[in-house]
Amino acid sequence: MFFLLRWTVYFLSFYFLTMLSLFALHTYLPKPPQIFGFIARSMAAYITLIICAAYGTIASAILKPLGLHYKYAQWTTAKAFKHLGKYTMGVEFEIIDDGEQILNNTRPAVFVINHQTELDVLLLGWIWPLYCSVTAKKSLRNIPFLGWYMTLSGTVYIDRVDRSAARKAFEGAAMTMREKRQSVAIFPEGTRSYSIEPMLLPFKKGAFHLAVQGGVDIVPVVAENYSAVLSPKARRFNSGTIRVKVLDPISTKGLTSTDVDKLTQDTREKMLNAITSMAQDSKSQSSLSRKKDS
């Protein structure tokens, strides 16, 4: 036990020393290689995730016997990641217009969010409402701390290989939504796009079937393309502020499974229009800023 503890201390000391050294080089060198900032912030992101997952595991274990895990477990962990990540990664998300009001006053709902990179986990921390859980692929359940936390906090696991198991998971989630007025957050693209342009991958229909089965609203959430902040392909990870737009809820009242295709297409179109509009707005603001500077 002492041997394991000692080597854990050695590893963490080396980890933090390396991370802080890279941050220092990235900050103080006249023209530092971009990779220094990328590695430093990536290391900061991973250690922040581990710390918050450990906290979430403990918090969920305490809240579950009290019957409060559905309300608070994922919310409190998300907010911890938000506040800690603001300092360790230097990244913030700004919810524009009436987004906060929609997030906090729409319950239950299926929140559908565009999926760009691993930084979307931090995005969840900024938008997470009470009484909400996330869906995740089944393999994440076996990851230490993160998997323990997700299981204890009420995550809906989806088996992407076994469709019948996936349908049962969605049926269970729909029942929980109706009985406990529990919301669910889903990335309908199913995988990260890693795009440097404002775009969306094709949507999978599970989120929309779930909303129709549960008879709840769909709330589209769009983060602007943030490849200037994080782009794993370009080995770029900078500090910055990313805007998020929460669109008006889309009712599923009276809809059936035959309406899911159109519902999926319409929602995707609205989200794509929003992300494109945000990109155009950013370009206009940049042009005005350059004109003022000149």
Q: What is the pLDDT of residues 97-116, one digit of tens each?
A: 889 999 999 999 999 999 99
Cross-strand partners of 217 = 109
Region for residue 134 given its phi and psi (left: phi exceeds 0; alpha: psi -120 to 50; beta: otherwise) = beta
| Domain 90-226+234-284, CATH | 3.40.1130.10
Instruction: Tell me how far the alpha carbon of residue 292 is from its chain's centroid.
Output: 36
pLDDT value at residue 225? 96
pLDDT value at residue 5? 83
Q: What is the pLDDT of residues 222-277, one digit of tens each?
A: 999 999 999 999 999 999 999 999 999 999 999 999 999 999 999 999 999 999 99
Contact yes or no for 153/56 (Cβ under 8 A) = yes
3-state DSSP assignment of residue 238: coil
Contact yes or no for 197/158 (Cβ under 8 A) = no
Contact yes or no for 179/215 (Cβ under 8 A) = no
Instruction: Write down the domain spans for the chain.
Output: 90-226+234-284
Instruction: Tell me which DSSP letter residue 200 carries.
Output: -
| Amino acid letter, 88 | T
Contact yes or no for 106/72 (Cβ under 8 A) = no
Q: Which band of pLDDT confidence, cut at 50, 70 and 90, is reported for residue 159? A: low
pLDDT value at residue 147? 78
